[in-house]
Amino acid sequence: NAGVTQTPKFQVLKTGQSMTLQCAQDMNHNSMYWYRQDPGMGLRLIYYSASEGTTDKGEVPNGYNVSRLNKREFSLRLESAAPSQTSVYFCASISMRLAGSNEQFFGPGTRLTVL
């Protein structure tokens, strides 16, 4: 099992450019999440998907869109990048079953800089 994978690991964009961050998990988890972490700060929820076919806004959704392509994949898109979106982005997944493992797994992160 690879767990949660994210691509790319690093990215530099110019203001106004667009890009998509990819996330995939191979643990058959139902729920997937996108967070951003700014220096010295906690994690803020951007969007989440409780199950395939559903997505919901988190605390800081403005400037982002998401797609839950299938059970495995959950992508985050920046349509017009702004310097305020410079951050480290983490994808995570969890099973949400009462039985079995309830552990949440995080991807390695994507370090995004917007100039």
Partner 1 sequence: ELKVEQNPLFLSMQEGKNYTIYCNYSTTSDRLYWYRQDPGKSLESLFVLLSNGAVKQEGRLMASLDTKARLSTLHITAAVHDLSATYFCAVVETSGSRLTFGEGTQLTVNP
| Contacting residues toward partner 1, per CB under 8 A | 31, 33, 35, 41-45, 48, 50, 56, 58-59, 90, 92, 94, 96, 98, 102-109
Length of the chain: 115
Enclosing H/E stretch for 19:
strand 19-25
Give 79 or 103: the residue with its C-beta nearer to partner 1. Answer: 103
Nearest distance from residue 96's CB to partner 1, in Å? 6
Give 63 or 108: the residue with its C-beta nearer to partner 1. Answer: 108
Burial profile 43-69: b = 16 or more Cβ within 10 angstroms, e = fewer? bebbbbbeeeeebeebebbeebebebe
Nearest distance from residue 16's CB to partner 1, in Å? 28
